Amino acid sequence: MKIAMIQMNSQGDKAANIAMAGELIAEAADDQPDLVILPEYWALLGNGPQEMHASAETFPDGDAYAAMKSWAMTHKVTLHGGSIVEKQGNAHYNTTVVFNPDGEEIARYRKMHLFDVDVPGGVSHRESEMVTGGDDIVTYECAGLTVGCSICYDIRFPELFRALRDKGADVIALPAAFTLMTGKDHWEVLARARAIETQTHFVAVGQFGTHAEGKRACYGHSMVIDPWGHVVSQVGDHIGTASAKVDSEYARRVRQNVPVQDHRVL
């Protein structure tokens, strides 16, 4: 499997973000990936619940949903749609939708862990004021491998990733809009830890740069990490793409040589 990461700097203009994503996916498709992964809130990264709710879509309706379906078919890839705001009844969710190369929806994951942080004397993030958490552990198949779903703040909760490994995940995707301040210290450390403990290829795909009229910033540094914890591909401090191949034989050897799954007690 070859995986392409799409690193964006989404803003409050949904149409412009969709256009940007389409251009970057077309660029990445030239490298003939099997799986293309967008970042969290790729269709709109706004300034507060009202703006984000206005961007919400009731699946299968909506411009972002239709665009993802079209891109998957056009480029003959499996498209892991980062996340967008989904509306169902009166509830909103931070949702990943995955499409196969025929444009069929094959997976839907609603972010479990919501980022509610109040830093004394600093910024406040209250994701629960905008969306409701999901409760399903989700995997899907791509190019003969099992891919597990997670989103951003989920990375701090290793129980989810153990559950994905238990469901047979060979690759775990984590689209994110990780904040700049926490990202500098925790992004790579946590991503490498999740790869090492699950012995999977871990793909962390982030937003980069400022948004919300410059009031907030994302760390970027999208990366593919192998099952030994090595960063094998990374996007720099810019909008762009990068790709990497999943070495299934290497993953098999890692699991054979350090059989942590067989030694679990709890």
218 is a catalytic site residue: no
Catalytic position from the list 14, 127, 149, 152: 152
40 is a catalytic site residue: yes
**What would the two tokens of residue 35 be?**
């799986």
Catalytic position from the list 14, 40, 57, 69: 40
14 is a catalytic site residue: no
Judged by DSSP in three states, 113 sits in coil
Q: Of 194, 183, 243, give the one whose Cα is nearest residue 217.
A: 183
DSSP bridge pairs for 5 = 37, 242
Instruction: Report the C-alpha gap between 74 and 106 in whole angstroms.
Output: 17
Give the chain's end-to-end CA distance (angstroms, integer). 32
Catalytic position from the list 111, 127, 142, 218: 111
Name the DSSP class of 62.
S
The 10 Å Cβ neighbour count of residue 79 is 28
Instruction: Report the C-alpha gap between 44 and 166 in whole angstroms.
Output: 33
**What would the two tokens of residue 151 be?**
């989103």
Active site residues: 40, 111, 152
